[in-house]
A and B are shown apart, each in its own frame.
Chain A
Amino acid sequence: MTIATIDGKVVLEAVNKAVEEHGATIDELIPILNDVNRTLGYLPANALDEISRRLRVPKSQLFSVSSFYRMFSTKPRGKHVVQFCESAPCHVVGGRQVWASLLDHLKIGPGETSPDGNWTLITTSCLGVCGVGPVIIIDDDIYGNVAPDQIAEILARYSETRE
């Protein structure tokens, strides 16, 4: 993995900001984890340590929560996260071919990050935009009515802005 470990200061800042915004109580744990995961791209061990200290929640509980929800990752993710909707409505309108095309172009499997650290490919549950399936999301951009032969062009948009 070529992704550099995130600087301790950056981690601390992200945790501080999230805890300040939501308050240091256990019922705000999921909103806090959401914010930190979003800022840092994943939940590094030192972030969980800090949240545990601030909220006075055992680390075991923090790990149990952060490993449960699909949107949290305890492993580093690539620069761009590609999410593929694997739900039935997308499946029946050609999702399978889009998935094959994604695998083919990214050369990584589900849940994997490319060796250059640019891409992570994950599947997502239904996004509720089934009227325009098959659907993929790259970072925060939603693409609907995706055809297998569009994948190369869509991915290229992100490669260009890479540096």
Chain B
Amino acid sequence: MKYYRSHVLVCVDPDCLHRGAHEALDAFQDELVAQGLIDEVQVLETSRIGACSQGPEMMVYPEGVHYAGYTVDDIPFIVEEHFLKGRVAKKFELPAETAIDEELSAPTPKEMRVVLRNCGQIDPENIEDYIAENGYMGLAKALTSMTPEQVIDEVLASGLRGRGGAGFPTARKWQFCRASAGQVKYVICNADEGDPGAFMNRRVLEGDPHAVIEGMIIAAYAIGSSQGYVYCRAEYPIAVQTLNIAIEQARAMGFLGQNILGTDFSFDLEVRMGAGAFVCGEETALMASIEGKRGEPRPRPPFPAVSGLWAKPSNVNNVETYANVPQIITNGAAWYAGFGTEKSKGTKTFALAGDVKHTGLIEVPFGLSLREVVFDVGGGIKDDKGFKAIQTGGPMGGCLPEAYLDLPVDYESLTAAGSMMGSGGLVVMDDETCMVDIARFFMEFTQEESCGKCTPCRVGTKRILEILDRICGGEGREGDIELLETLCEQIKQDSLCGLGQGAPTPVVSTLKHFRDEYEIHIREKRCPAKVCKALIRYEILPEFCTGCTVCARNCPTAAITGERRQTHLIDVDTCIRCGICMQVCNFNAIVIR
């Protein structure tokens, strides 16, 4: 490989493209040629490196200087200052603290990056960048010095478990599929990352697609498969595009196709797009969707390892699971097993969202406590409010209160606490959150996403939602809580797939940890967090009201009356509780009761 003294990474995320990233790239190349520096400085495209609000942004390595806020006309100046004179062009340098990637910032001390190691660091559209970071080393090692059985043993020894949420040992799945009879077998990557708030897989696909591809090729070798599919949701158009480019480049380099790396092993890969159906993240529904059918799950067994896509043995793993594999093979099982807890090895990526200071992606070794995740990695609660709950495991996960903050993050502990690992969404809620409203909200989601095939899920989620709607609407009745509990239990027991079985979890967990809030909603017709509209009313405090008429003029339903310089009054029956008056009042005279 050619040696360059500097590397310039220009962000080509949609925002930066919009602000002229391609023009900047061209201008940079031209200026480097003009200054005779083109053999010393390499210009590369990369995924998001910053907030992109002052794009096109760029990073200069090895110095790690972050430039933004310049125009094409400023590029000669930057080239002269930085690359000719060797000093930072201060005018356009972003100070380290403002140069934050909103999705993925520099790792905090408690983090450990295995899956996300290359994201934002390399050009995802250039396979050589990946190779320079020891990419495809694991594949070379597996194909040339290991038997398929040895590959499976190595992954088994690493303790890698399914990162899609269920946590099934990855190597066991591979063993089953390998042992299944038949010549034709499929390797499938589940990139249907549908959990609201979870975007770890999207970032890996967009930032380091070759890691996933390499993991899939290694899995195919271990299982004995010659064809693979990546099933990616249609909501991720950039991920699909990046993947297709990466697959083409891998093919051109001989990592995909016939006789990979000169061995007699052949394997190829195709991307399939979904069309907007959450349930397709369930593996049997996903395979039905690849076959061109409605994405409805079917009962298991038979498991995909025996009869999967087109009734052939198939291995389905999540994006993150595959992305771990190359490094396990390259660095050895013992290295990987060195992170995490006894039963949950390695690291896990999470998407931190909600009322936490630093939202975005993190990757931590298993075993860190929820408190460390929320307060050390996440920086604590936004606006210095109090912590109320954290929801783990996505829409089918549970809400855990403060008492559980010292729980270690691993598969078993979260399940024992009544939640689950899930794919890695973490939604933090502050003390102004209504837990009944949150339960209702998640139920609305699962009810809508229920595919309708089995009755407990289709009808049961609807009934739960109706009860929760009633409670939030101020019409809760005695016995509702018990009815909810019965329904939840039945849906959990009798549903066909993970969606239905998990759907009641948000309700069950909030009933367990925040039962008093349900009781207050039902018995006192009051929403303690002042969120449920039917249970609150807006009032004007006479001692603060100056009679400025701003609220009355902004009220969409003319519910506020009062003369100028006189205390105003809100009519409870006309008020639609939109909250506009409270936002526009300059004297904090409007309160929620």
A27 to B292, CA, bound (A): 5
Q: Smallest CB-CB separation from A92: which chain B residue?
A: B354
Q: B23 on the interface (CB 8 Å rule)?
A: no
B441:A88 contact, CB within 8 angstroms: yes
Q: Would A89 and B353 be within 8 Å (CB), given that A30-B274, A72-B275, A131-B359 are in contact?
A: yes
Which residues of A sit under 8 angstroms from B391, Cβ to Cβ? 88
Q: A70 on the interface (CB 8 Å rule)?
A: yes
Which residues of A sit under 8 angstroms from B354, Cβ to Cβ? 88-89, 92-93
* Residues 262-314 (chain B) with a chain A CB within 8 angstroms: 272-278, 289-296
Q: Would A88 and B272 be within 8 Å (CB), given that A93-B354, A130-B197 are in contact?
A: no
Q: A156 on the interface (CB 8 Å rule)?
A: no
Q: Say what secondary structure dominates the interface of chain B.
A: loop
Contact bitstring A59-70, B, C-beta under 8 A = 1, else 0: 001001100111
* Residues 89-124 (chain B) with a chain A CB within 8 angstroms: 102-103
Which residues of B sit under 8 angstroms from A131, Cβ to Cβ? 102-103, 353, 359-360
Give the interface size class of chain B: 35 or more
A100 to B533, CA, bound (A): 13
* Residues 195-240 (chain B) with a chain A CB within 8 angstroms: 195-199, 202, 234-236
Which residues of A sit under 8 angstroms from B353, Cβ to Cβ? 88-89, 92, 130-131, 133
Total inter-chain residue pairs, C-beta < 8 Å: 115
Q: A97 on the interface (CB 8 Å rule)?
A: yes
B427:A88 contact, CB within 8 angstroms: yes
A70:B445 contact, CB within 8 angstroms: no
* Other-chain contact of B278, A88, A90, A125 (Cβ < 8 Å): A125
Instruction: Name, among B196, B199, B289, B429, the residue most crowded by chain A CB atoms within 10 Å (CB to CB).
Output: B196
A30 to B240, CA, bound (A): 15
Q: A128 on the interface (CB 8 Å rule)?
A: yes
B235:A88 contact, CB within 8 angstroms: no
Q: A52 on the interface (CB 8 Å rule)?
A: no
B196:A87 contact, CB within 8 angstroms: yes
A72 to B395, CA, bound (A): 24
A125:B235 contact, CB within 8 angstroms: yes
What's the minimum C-beta distance from B74 to chain A, rounded to whole angstroms? 27
What's the minimum C-beta distance from B154 to chain A, rounded to whole angstroms? 32
* Other-chain contact of A71, B275, B292, B433 (Cβ < 8 Å): B275
B14:A69 contact, CB within 8 angstroms: no
A128 to B196, CA, bound (A): 7
Contact bitstring A27-65, B, C-beta under 8 A = 1, else 0: 111110110000000000000000000000100010011
Which residues of A sit under 8 angstroms from B272, Cβ to Cβ? 30-31
Q: B355 on the interface (CB 8 Å rule)?
A: yes
Q: Would A87 and B445 be within 8 Å (CB), given that A34-B234, A92-B355, A126-B197 are in contact?
A: yes
Q: A114 on the interface (CB 8 Å rule)?
A: no
A100:B578 contact, CB within 8 angstroms: yes
Q: A6 on the interface (CB 8 Å rule)?
A: no
What's the minimum C-beta distance from A126 to chain B, rounded to whole angstroms? 4
A89:B273 contact, CB within 8 angstroms: no
A28:B442 contact, CB within 8 angstroms: no
B197:A87 contact, CB within 8 angstroms: yes
Which residues of A sit under 8 angstroms from B50, Cβ to Cβ? none
Q: B193 on the interface (CB 8 Å rule)?
A: yes
Which residues of B sit under 8 angstroms from A97, Cβ to Cβ? 579
What's the minimum C-beta distance from A103 to chain B, rounded to whole angstroms? 11
Q: A124 on the interface (CB 8 Å rule)?
A: yes
B199:A71 contact, CB within 8 angstroms: no
Which residues of B sit under 8 angstroms from A128, Cβ to Cβ? 193, 198-199, 202, 235-236
Q: Would A126 and B194 be within 8 Å (CB), given that A68-B294, A92-B355 are in contact?
A: yes
Q: B488 on the interface (CB 8 Å rule)?
A: no
* Residues 67-110 (chain A) with a chain B CB within 8 angstroms: 68-72, 86-93, 97, 100, 104
Q: A88-B445, A126-B199 are in contact. List 5 more A-B contacts (CB 8 A).
A: A28-B292, A57-B292, A65-B293, A89-B353, A126-B194
Identify 15 residue pairs between A and B in the complex whose beta-carbon atoms are under 8 Å apart, listed by A's number. A27-B291, A28-B292, A34-B234, A69-B274, A71-B234, A72-B275, A89-B197, A89-B353, A92-B355, A93-B355, A124-B235, A125-B194, A125-B196, A126-B195, A131-B102
